[in-house]
Amino acid sequence: MTDLHQWVRDPPLFALALSLSLFGVAMIYSAGVLNVPSPIVQGAWVRQFVWLLISLVAFFVITRIESRWIEWAAIPIFVMAVIFLAATFAVGTGAGTAAGTRSWLQIGPMRFQPAELAKLAGILGLAKLLASRESPPGSLRDIVAPAALVAVPLGLVVLQPDLGTALAFVGILFAALFWAGTPLLVLCLLASPGVALILSFDTRVWSIYFLLLIAALYLVRYRVYLVESVVVILANLAAGTIAAPAWASLAQYQKNRLLVFLDPGMDPRGAGWNLIQSKVAIGSGGLFGKGFTEGTQKRFNFLPEQHTDFIFSVVGEELGFFGVMVAITLFAALLLRLVRLAERSADPFAGIVLFGIFGAWLVHIFVNVGMTIGIVPITGIPLPFVSYGGTFLLTCWVLVAVAARVAREE
């Protein structure tokens, strides 16, 4: 038992991550079983398996590193990630299902997405910054620095454009601030402009929200500085008014993805078609599914990006509600394990790192699974451990390793 602890640091975390990874390889294999085979999708599971082996090696290497080294490396990693992200604009290439964006860097035979490295860098950088504070952030002014730190990679990722990863950064920021002890009220104020942005598509709804916000600020007037209230109101006002130009600046495919969330019939041959087919595949899976590799919607190539972003539709069709629940339970257990590890860590740096990882994965899982069933807009975000993608799997495992390492440094 001690040996196992020695090797994998936290056996439950390792076991959950490994189960999900193997489940992913299996599902990628199934995604390649088509009536009209596609050579790329067919061999994907082998490549994913090789990447899993590479990831495990990385895991064992990183778990040997001392925790304080990881803490020390936070700033250099952050700087490097930002440089790589910026480099994608000059020398970036597209790849695979994301051929339209320039989010990949090619170094020799290796190709990787700096956005993945940036997630790790953002988590470590935030933890370092927040842990170095004397006391928990208590006001909006206290979270300007951490928000600015995340804004740099987030902004670069948005420009790529990669909305999915950008959402992950939002998750990281909020989760890290939460564990750093930021009052919920401050987090709500921080989130309010985002809410305003979403609600501004209907002026009446936005107006009501805005009045409620002012009323709420009045109620909490003794706990918030006047300047902060003014800033929050201005930010909400700005979010409400820039919504229209911001919307206009989105690429058509991004607009369509948001619009088909409201009405899949709007673009029934493009983004809406993906959603409709995904829902039909999942719905036809029933309680126990059509059986592993037997999904008919998948087999006839009706599912889009079935080995990457929409792999959960294959899970739904072939393994049914039963399989879906197993997968969701595994994910929930993984995330709960991170929470448990944070709870046990007295060290603020370790806790914030663990929560940063928690925030990133929670966004990935909820948005990816949610979009296949149509409760979240389609954002092109992969499912941790399960979606096909070498660097993505590697990043997930690096995060597992970091989590396991910092958690056990009591």
Partner 1 sequence: MKPINPNRRHEMARGASLMLLFLMAILALSFFRAQVIRGSSWSLQSDSNRLRVLSVPAPRGTVFDRFGRIVADNVPSYSVALFPASVDSIAASLVRLAPILNLSDERIEALLESFRMSRQRPLFVKMNAPFEEIVALEELRAEFPGIFLEMRPRRRYVGGEALGHVMGYVGEVSMAELESLEFAGYEQGMIVGKDGLERQYEDGLQGVNGVRFVEVDAVGRIVGSFEGQAASSALPGTDLHLNLDLELMHFIHRIFPTSMRGAVVALDVETGGVLALYSAPSFDPNDFVGGIDRAIWDALNTDPANPLFNRAVVGRYPPASTWKLASAAIALELGVVSPNERMPVPCTGSYRFQNVVRRCWNANGHGSLDMAGAIAHSCNVYFYQLGVRIGLERLVREGNRLGFTERCGVDLPRESAGEFPDGLDWWERRFGARPYENEVLSLVIGQGPNSQTPLKMAQFYLALARDGSAPAPRLSRPAEGEEPEIAWTLNLSPASLATLRDGLRQVTEVGGTAFYSTLEHWDLIGKTGTAQGGVEQESPHAWFTGMAGPWGGEPEIVIVVIVEEVGEGQGGSSVSAPIAAKAADFHLRRKYGMETTEIQTLREHLEAGVPAPWARWQPRGQIPEGG
Q: Interface with partner 1 by CB under 8 A: which residues?
A: 36, 130-136, 175, 178-181, 264-265, 268-269, 273, 276-277, 279-280, 282-287, 290, 296-297, 300, 302, 316, 320-321, 324-325, 328, 331-332, 335-336, 339-340, 342-343, 345-348, 351, 355, 358, 362, 366, 369-370, 373, 375
| Closest CB to partner 1 among residues 57, 251 | 251
Q: Which residues pair with 95 in a beta bridge?
A: 98
Q: How far apart are CA 285 and CA 301, in angstroms?
A: 16
Q: For residue 216, with 0-12 CB atoms within 10 Å meaning exposed, 13-18 middle and 19 or more buried, which class applies?
A: middle
* Closest to 389 (Cα-Cα) out of 35, 123, 40: 40
Q: How far is the CB of 170 from partner 1 (least distance, A)?
A: 15
Q: How far is the CB of 260 from partner 1 (least distance, A)?
A: 11
Helix (H, G, I), strand (E, B) or coil at 93: strand
Q: How far apart are CA 251 and CA 315, in angstroms?
A: 30
Q: How far is the CB of 296 from partner 1 (least distance, A)?
A: 5
Element (H, E) at 105: strand 105-107
| Closest CB to partner 1 among residues 82, 371 | 371
* Closest to 235 (Cα-Cα) out of 251, 217, 218: 217
Alpha-helical regions (H) of 65-101: 67-91
| Closest CB to partner 1 among residues 96, 181 | 181
Instruction: Give the phi and the psi of residue 258 in degrees, each rounded to 5.
Output: -75, -40
| Closest CB to partner 1 among residues 89, 300 | 300
Q: How far is the CB of 168 from partner 1 (least distance, A)?
A: 15
Measured at the CA of 45, the angle between CA 113 and CA 23, to 5 degrees, comes to 95
| Closest CB to partner 1 among residues 84, 385 | 385
| Closest CB to partner 1 among residues 93, 132 | 132
Q: How far is the CB of 326 from partner 1 (least distance, A)?
A: 11
Q: How far is the CB of 291 from partner 1 (least distance, A)?
A: 11
